[in-house]
């Protein structure tokens, strides 16, 4: 029988073996605080206490994919479909500009039509014109062709989030339909294409999925590092009753256990990839009322307040229980500023908040701060 490892000593290392990651993910509540403290220290020493804001626009819930976990999947008929108008997106961009966020995220269901590609490109171009280039733009529009990514990059988008959801191909098949349209290999190719077209590349996983193990999660952390990811958005899996995966709800960890497992994943990611951007996701707050703030204290440095027009918020429910769907954007921002100030963090106003990891890899000069 192997002796129980000393967690304190283990955390003195700068990198971990696969088995060590599994051990750290499996620690009890008392020992997990040591991981959180270490991650907080690493964050302070690498990216500091600045928090970068990205105004989140949930552009459309029209999606051609039928992922088994997602509330806006094409097979869900109990949903009202929508797409924001150009004016609504530009009004959101004006809110970002007026409130000095520095960046915005345009997120939506996956569509690959020529019309949609052109529409997104034109929106990006007009946001750049409206802001005189001041607003940094992240897109999250699913798998697209390399040509589409190139076009959107040329229009002015420079970050892209495409979540892998799990790095285990077998688990990927369990949470997606069994067809070529939902392909693990295509998802990997899309991440490669984004990198090759010059984007800062973001991805992420769901934590606490049915059939998922700590071994899978350790593999996810290793995937992020091996792929040299620039930014991560991940959080607990939260079920939605209008999805096929809901039938396995009895296999799930209790919500709070999923939350703290997610917090451990976030902390270990900060320790192992110190200079990447990590988002405090809405899913964290769905389970724990201070989920986003705890994520910031543990290692996250990006927050994405929702600035989607209120009349659409109810229709963009990837999972159930999503917070703030009835709160005005200004109120969300006011509360966020108070919460960030209370934990002695500073907001990076009027700053794109680019990934140091991306910057250092491209320019190989760690003496220059990409986010002054």
pLDDT in tens, 154-186: 999 999 999 999 999 999 999 999 999 999 999
Angle at 82 between CA 79 and CA 88, to 5 degrees: 145
For the chain, strand residue ranges (E) read 50-60, 102-108, 136-140, 159-161, 200-203, 206-207, 231-232, 235-236, 277-280, 302-303, 346-347
Distance CA 51, CA 290 (A): 16
Tokens of 219: 């593999």
Residue 180: burial class (beta carbons within 10 Å; 0-12, 13-18, 19+):
exposed
The helix-helix angle for 114-130 and 86-98 (nearest 10°) equals 30
Does residue 256 surpass a pLDDT of 60?
yes
Question: According to the model, what pLDDT value does residue 247 have?
Answer: 98
Tokens standing for residue 251:
């296999």
User: 3-state DSSP call for residue 346?
Assistant: strand
80 pLDDT tier (thresholds 50, 70, 90): very high
Instruction: For the domain covering 29-362, report its CATH number.
Output: 3.20.20.70
Classify residue 63 as exposed, middle or buried by CB count within 10 Å of its CB (0-12, 13-18, 19+). buried
* 3-class state of residue 231 by DSSP: strand
C-alpha closest to that of 199 among 52, 354, 57: 354
């Amino acid at each position: 029988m192997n002796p129980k490892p000393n967690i304190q000593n283990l955390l003195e290392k700068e990198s971990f073996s696969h088995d060590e990651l599994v051990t750290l993910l499996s620690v009890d509540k008392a020992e997990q605080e040591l991981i959180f403290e270490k991650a907080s220290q690493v964050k302070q020493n690498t990216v500091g206490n600045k928090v970068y804001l990205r105004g989140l626009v949930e552009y459309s819930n029209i999606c051609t994919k039928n992922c088994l976990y997602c509330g806006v999947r094409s097979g869900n008929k109990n949903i009202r479909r929508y797409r924001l108008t150009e004016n609504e997106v530009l009004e959101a961009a004006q809110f970002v500009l007026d409130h000095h966020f520095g960046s915005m995220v345009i997120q939506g269901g996956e569509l690959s039509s020529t019309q949609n590609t052109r529409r997104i490109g034109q929106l990006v171009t007009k946001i750049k014109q409206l802001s005189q280039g001041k607003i940094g733009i992240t897109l999250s529009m699913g798998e697209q062709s390399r040509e589409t990514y190139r076009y959107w990059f040329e229009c002015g988008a420079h970050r892209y989030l495409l979540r892998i959801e799990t790095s285990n191909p077998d688990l990927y098949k369990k949470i997606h339909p069994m067809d070529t349209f939902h392909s693990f290999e295509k998802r990997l190719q899309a991440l490669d294409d984004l990198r090759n077209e010059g984007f800062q590349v973001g991805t992420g996983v769901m934590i606490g999925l049915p059939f998922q193990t700590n071994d899978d999660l350790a593999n996810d952390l290793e995937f992020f590092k091996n792929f040299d990811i620039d930014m991560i958005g991940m959080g607990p899996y939260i079920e939605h009753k209008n999805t096929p995966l809901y039938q396995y709800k009895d296999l799930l960890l209790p919500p709070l256990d999923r939350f703290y497992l997610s917090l451990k994943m976030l902390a270990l990611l900060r320790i192992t990839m110190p200079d990447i951007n990590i988002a405090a996701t809405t899913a964290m707050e769905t389970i724990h009322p201070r989920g986003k703030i705890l994520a910031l204290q543990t290692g996250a440095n990006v927050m994405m307040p929702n600035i989607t027009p209120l009349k659409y918020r109810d229709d963009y429910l990837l999972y159930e229980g999503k917070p703030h769907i009835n709160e005005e954007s200004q109120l969300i921002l006011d509360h966020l500023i108070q919460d960030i100030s209370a934990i002695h963090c500073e907001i990076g106003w009027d700053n794109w908040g680019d990934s140091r990891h991306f910057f250092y890899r491209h320019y190989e000069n760690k003496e220059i701060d990409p986010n002054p």
